[in-house]
Chain A
Amino acid sequence: MRFRARVEVQLRPGIADPEGATIERALPALGFDGVAHVRAGRSFSFEVDAPDEGAARLTATELADRLLANPVIEQSRLELEAI
């Protein structure tokens, strides 16, 4: 089976995010009011061949933890769908 994985990486809560803060500071000048708590992050997508969803999830999670995110400062969220 083949699965499409999407991994979203963001800084952990409590870790300063100067990128998100800078975006947030620009918002009032653009007329966006009432927007708060902006956090920047990155998104990755890839396809995994695996016998079942559990195996695909294991591979994708390990890939996210060992490479895509630095667990010291970042956390990742995985979405998986069969294709």
Chain B
Amino acid sequence: MAPRIGVVVFPGTNCEHDVVQAVEAAGAAGVLLWHGDDNLGSVDAVVLPGGFAHGDYLRPGALARFSPVMDAVAAFARAGGPVVGICNGFQVLTEAGLLPGALQKNGRLRFLCEPARLVVASTSSVLTSGSRVGDELTIPINHFSGNYTCDDETLRRLMDEDRVVLRYADNPNGSVDAIAGIANEAGNVVGLMPHPERASNALLGSLDGLVLLRALVGAATARAAA
């Protein structure tokens, strides 16, 4: 049976249907989850998709972390469940303290909507386990606050623990160390600014996102079997 991947919908989320379609193309069943629910039902992985959760008021992700579903997401993550935050979802994960650092306004204050060249920096995450270090992927970015920022000590830990999973080939937003995506210590929680679901069909110009989503589906399958 196909693993079930829950896709969380906050008020203002707008990429949930794209993500459902993409994870289904990668072999999973996509299930929409409402932010006001305090449980995840029976899913084998969770995606926090892109958009503008709670209007991005205050700061992107700042209010979403108080949605009832986030306690369930945190518990699922602590139990080793695969959790991926894409774009706004990455911002939510940092605000919720599930990933370190913060996403600041882009350097030069530009909203960026363009394909980004990425380099896989670590394969020890649920999103990159099907890649090789050094693989190049072209996946669209679409954000105003994607400028990853953290203190030196956090950056050192991320590097030492092999938790920088993706870097930009040409750092478009000023992120520290060109970071495009990071993982938690166990590798089961990943946040990234690029949108893999927008590179999951030949019609979209790139299939590179599907490589990442297939790895996630693999992790969900393993969890479903456990």
Contact = CB atoms under 8 A, between A and B. Distances in A.
A47 to B, nearest CB: 19
Contacts of A72: 94, 100-102, 149-151
Interface of A: 11, 15-16, 18-19, 22, 67-68, 70, 72-73
Given A72-B149, A72-B150, A67 B101 contact: no
B85 to A, nearest CB: 16
A67 B102 contact: no
Contact of B62 (A15, A16, A22, A70): A70
Interface of B: 58-59, 62, 94-95, 100-102, 104-109, 147, 149-151, 174
Contacts of A19: 105, 109
Contact of B58 (A18, A68, A73): A68
- Of A11, A15, A16, A68, most buried by chain B (CB within 10 Å of CB) is A16
B58 A15 contact: no
Contact of B109 (A11, A15, A22, A73): A22
Contact of A16 (B95, B101, B102, B174): B174
Contacts of A16: 104, 107, 147, 149, 174
